[in-house]
Each structure stands twice: as C-alpha cells, then as structure tokens.
A and B are shown apart, each in its own frame.
Chain A
C-alpha cells in the first residue's frame, strides 16, 4: 500500500495539486480506520474474499488519486464506498457470465447499513473468535476446519454429512449466528473488564 501511494504522489493528480504531507497522513489514517468496512462492503458485493481484497487495494489507489475531491465534512466511509462500489461493479461486469450485480438502490442501502456494523480492533475480534471456535462442539468445529482451513466446498461437506446442501446452509447459518453472539459477548465482557480496572 505504501509503495502504491508513493507512486501516486507523482501521478498527474499529485503533480497538479500541492498536497502537504499531512494530507497523505490523513488519508492513510482514514483508510486504516475504515479499510475493514470497505473490504466488508466489497465482499458483500462480490462474495469472494480474494476478489474483495484485491478490489480494496485497487480502490485505495483510486481513493488516494481522488483524495483532493473528498469533502471532509462527509463520511469518509460513504465516499470511499462509492469508489469501491464502482470497482466492484466493473469487476462483476467484466465477468461476462456473471449477472449477479446488485441494483444501485440496494448498494446504497448496504452502504448505509455499513455504518452500523461494529468494528472492534481486529486483533481483539480474532482472539475472541479463536476462543469461541474452541468452545464449539467437535462436529461444528469440523465444519469450519473443512471449509476455511482445508478449503473444502460447502457441497462436499454436506455430502460427507449425508445431508442436502440446503440443510447444510441452515446449519452453517446457525453456527455463524452462534459464533457472532459468542464473539460479541466476549468482547463486551472484555470491555467491561477494562473499564472496571480504570
């Protein structure tokens, strides 16, 4: 990311505007604060983690290029999501067979909803998530291990279980809900613990 930004400092946009270093620092600060949600937004459109991360990189470069156009009185997330969304739409349309592009009203609504998603510092969430996975029954653990650590498809895991894909989808939904509740509880407990020791 740093290398890309330095390259763009010499871009036409960079040359035509005298941009103080503070501006770049400010951009990096804002990007760092919102990168998680931007990636999340991209994932909600493209539904593939690698694609979402690649697009986030590309979109970040464009955001930097257009940073002078950003109005600091507006939400950075809303502005950045607008740029990210264009990249995502272009990405999907570039795949000729891919007709699954959300309408713009739905994307607007998703952008609004993004603001309400809690984002605790990533390391704390991941630590909580690890603990919550450890607390799962072995069977549910095996679903996650097969899919995320071994790269198995949902279909193959459903087949191993001997159930239909749709039933497995419902199982995964319940498992995800349970993990989310567990992570939220752990983070909340940790926050209270920290506050009480202050």
Chain B
C-alpha cells in the first residue's frame, strides 16, 4: 500500500520513531523506502537526528535559550542558592539573636549582679488586647459569561470578531451585526444570538434583549435563567426556548423543550403564564393579551452553530508567523473534526489564464519562483500558506471581461463526496489592506466547457476579522510580463519579482458545501472551474475526505 501523499510519508517516519507504526503504516513505509531514493535519504537523516538528540539528552542538560531560562520563575531553593553566602549568614545570625531575645523576655536594663527586683512599671499587667475583628471575606464577584462559539460573528465597534473564551462584560450593550454568537454562563446556561441583535448581560442569569433573536438552553442547575425584552420577561424552567424581539417591540417566544414562564415586563411575577413544550406566545406593545407566535417555531431554535470551517493550525517561524498548514478543524454534522493535512484531497491544475502585469505567483520572501512544472505544485500540493497561484482572470482585462470565461480549472485527485457541511476548502492569502470580508469566488462544477450553473460564494468562514486568521510569513509576488493564456505559459513564461514592499497578510478560509451547488448527499465532484474575473489569491484548494471514511 502506497502512502497517500508526501506528507503521509513524512508522518510515517515520525510514527516509526514514536514506535507507533501499524501494520498498514509499516507496509506503506516499506513501499516508500523501496520506490524513492529521496525518501530513503530523508528517513536516514531523520534517524540520524533522532540518534543525536538522544545522545545529547544523555550527555547534557537541555540547551535552552538563556533568555528563556531567565524568564522562568526561580524555585525557592534556587533563590537561596543564589544569595551571597555572607548575607545568608548575617540574616541567620540575626534570626538567632531575635529568637533569643524573644525567649529571654526582653533586654535587661539592670547590671547583671543586681538583685532581681521587679520593675514596678513592668508589674502593672496591661489587660489583654482583644483581637482585632476579622473583616468578612470580600464577596467573590460572579464569573462573567464567555464566548463559547462564533460563526461569522461581528460586533459593532470591534475590529476583530469575538473569540471563543473572550469575556462578555456585565452591563455593556453589544450590537451583533453579522453572524451567530454563542455565550456560555457560569450556571451552564448557553445563549445563541443571531444577528442583527442588540443585547446586554446584566447578571449571571439575565440577558436583556433589546432586539434580535436569542436561543437559550438552560440545563439542569441553570433553571431560572431569564431573558428580558422591552415588553416581556421570559424565565426558563428548563430547558430550551427561543425569543425574538422585533425592532418595533413585539416579543415572541417558542418553547422547544421543557417549560418557560412569560409575563409582561410591567406586571408582577404572579401574572406569569407557564408555557410548555411546543407552545408559543406573542406580546405586542400596548396589548395585555398573549397571542400565539407568528414567526417562531421549533426550527428557529439554534442549539449548535452551523457546519463550517472553524479554524486551522499551521507551523510557525521564530516570530510566530504561520508558515505551513498542519491541520484544519471543520464542523460537519454538528461535530468539530480535525483533518491533518495528509487527509485532505489535493487538486491538479488543469487550466489557468491571467493578464499581463498581474501578480500571478507568490512565494515566501527568501525563496525563489520555481522553474518549470514545479510551479504548479505551488497550488497543488505545497502546504506553504505563502505560496500560491494568484489572480485567475480574463487576459484582456480591463477592456473586456467575459463573466462566463473559465479562468482556472482543477481536477481533484479523488472525487469529493457531498457530505454534511463544507466539502471543498479554499485557502486564500489576503493582505491586510484588502477587503476584510474576503473576495468573491465564482465557480462552476464539472469539466471545462460543461454548461453547468455558475455559483457565487462570498462568505469566508475565516476572514480578516476572525481571530483564527493567522498572520503569514512575509511573501513576495511575481508579475506576468505577458498574458498567461495556458498552463504552458504558466510553466514557461517569465514572471518577475520587482522591488517588493511587503504588506502583512493573513490566510482566509472558505468552505464550499456541494449541497449549495445542487449536489445531493453522496453525489461527488471531481472537476471544478472558476469563471469570470477572480481576484482571490489561492494558496491551497483541497477537498475534505468523505465523512464515513474518518479514522
């Protein structure tokens, strides 16, 4: 059995060193050693380094960076051992003297041979001083709620999207302008807000919802969690309900599971009405009546955020900038799954065109543009997030731009099977001065020339505002000196890197669900075309393995 890719082979070397080769892995390793002289050399070099590291570990302490060593907190014994010995001796002597003084009852003021006469002053016994009252411990402030999950969430006035783990401040009003935001409370309750919404958290059990929609799950122990709107108060009895507040003031409630009490804001709690599972209510401004909800139902409830690309991991260089993709985390069928890069399905470039003077390639600074067919690997199988083939675009820009013209075509090495959530991932290098929400991508499934529908995607699961968009190593681009009209041009034409002013960049990720292109579950795609003007800068385009094939 052959290894699936170069990267699978590399992980086999590590698995061998870890003593964790399965039978299948061993076979794959053996086959790779048999067929590739380069891999044999890599294998032996890795073994050599492993030997040397083992030898080093037996010979000496870990060779930490002295700067890092000094930042580590010193141990107690370490501290004492570093104090000058004379200082320690003096302090020890002083301690002995102090102890002696305390035991002797104070320094004598009379000559040693004088008879023991009780000092009349000292004879007066002062009443014992009552112990100072101990102040009660300060009350522990309630733990603030925290962001637990985000899907394209943007909060007005904040540059970056909220990050899981981020604190939500009490009493502060939040305006959610895009996406979905899930917040977790100390009691275990969870509230998911859908944009557009305006809300604040007043205490660990209360959300003020001025407008928008909020789905609440209050498990056992979190009963009593309440959502207060301008017109109504909803108290959870357990466990799930959804509240919607219109900008005109109407409040609707639907109980998905368990029960909840609802009352008009100005009325006492005794007037609350109990609603059970499947029941709903609508409260209009100025009306004392409760009516059934008109727009809410069980489908409105948001328990989990939608399937999407959650984040990715990359190797980093000394300053923390991302270099190579290591793995990507994707929520599919409600569960977040990690895909190491050797499980991703690479593509082969089949067609590419681009205009003169457009940046067509990028590489990390310090590297040169490969020659020949190696250039195609920059998109096909190179995991560097700073190498890519950029700007597929009609060649006669700006005079005429045919929106139906195929500008790039890919073939995946294995069919991509439509499953829950994203099926194809596009990794894009985006400089920080470009659109934070990312560029639009127009694709058409099928082989070149197939008359299939064109689909437009413009939602990047990880865009420039996402805390999971990693800063990339510095890169440089290469301009086309003449129009790129074919793959041959891409391989053989001259592309020039000029005097580059590096602009910081991050890597964005878009997940494309084949269902959004009309594919039924289980149907597969092998070819994908990009049509019309494209301004995105792909550094990797991969497919996700079929869900059932997960290890």
Contacts and interface: CB of A to CB of B under 8 A. Distances in A.
Interface stretch (B12-20, B210-218, B347-355, B514-522): B12-20
Interface in A149-193: 149, 153-155, 163-174, 176, 179-180, 183
Contact of A106 (B15, B21, B34): B34
Interface stretch (B47-55, B183-191, B290-298, B409-417): B47-55
Nearest to A137: B318
Contacts of B23: 99-100
Interface in A113-169: 113-114, 116-117, 122, 125-126, 129-131, 133-139, 141, 144-145, 148-149, 153-155, 163-169
Given A44-B43, A171-B326, A105 B34 contact: yes
Contacts of B16: 47
A39 interface: yes
Given A49-B50, A100-B21, A149 B11 contact: no
Given A44-B44, A137-B320, A149-B62, A167 B50 contact: no
A86 interface: no
Nearest to B52: A129
Contact of B19 (A47, A129, A134): A47
A47 B338 CA distance: 28
A125 B61 CA distance: 17
B327 interface: yes
Contacts of B37: 109, 113
Interface residues of B, number: 58
A48 B19 contact: yes
A102 interface: yes
Contacts of A164: 327, 338, 340
B397 to A, nearest CB: 38
B20 A155 contact: yes
Nearest to A131: B63
Contact of B30 (A106, A168, A179, A183): A106
A154 B18 contact: yes
A176 B51 CA distance: 12
Contacts of A44: 43-44, 47
Contacts of A197: none
Nearest to B343: A166
A129 B342 CA distance: 29
A30 interface: no
A165 B47 CA distance: 19
A109 B44 contact: no
A119 B51 CA distance: 13
Contact of B18 (A109, A126, A153, A167): A153
Nearest to A145: B62
Interface string B63-91: 11110100000000000000000000000
Contacts of B40: 109-110, 113
Contacts of B320: 137
Contacts of A130: 56, 60, 63
A61 interface: no
A113 B23 CA distance: 24
A43 interface: yes
Contacts of B14: 154, 168-170, 172-173, 176
Contact of B49 (A135, A163, A176): A176
A18 interface: no
A140 B508 CA distance: 25
B64 A134 contact: yes
Interface residues of A, number: 57
A40 interface: yes
A168 to B, nearest CB: 8
Given A43-B47, A43-B50, A167-B313, A129 B62 contact: no
A114 to B, nearest CB: 7
Given A113-B44, A170-B340, A47 B17 contact: yes
A85 to B, nearest CB: 14
A40 B313 contact: no
B341 interface: yes
A155 B10 contact: no
A180 B23 CA distance: 29
A151 to B, nearest CB: 9
Nearest to B66: A134
Nearest to B23: A99
12 contacts: A47-B16, A47-B19, A110-B40, A130-B60, A130-B63, A134-B65, A149-B57, A166-B11, A167-B313, A168-B14, A170-B327, A176-B14
Interface of A: 39-40, 43-44, 47-49, 52, 99-100, 102-103, 105-106, 109-110, 113-114, 116-117, 122, 125-126, 129-131, 133-139, 141, 144-145, 148-149, 153-155, 163-174, 176, 179-180, 183
Given A129-B52, A133-B62, A134-B64, 14 more contacts: A47-B16, A47-B17, A47-B19, A100-B26, A110-B33, A126-B59, A130-B56, A131-B63, A134-B65, A138-B68, A167-B326, A167-B340, A169-B11, A176-B49
Interface of B: 7, 10-11, 13-21, 23, 26, 30, 33-34, 37, 40-41, 43-57, 59-66, 68, 313, 315-318, 320, 324, 326-327, 338, 340-343
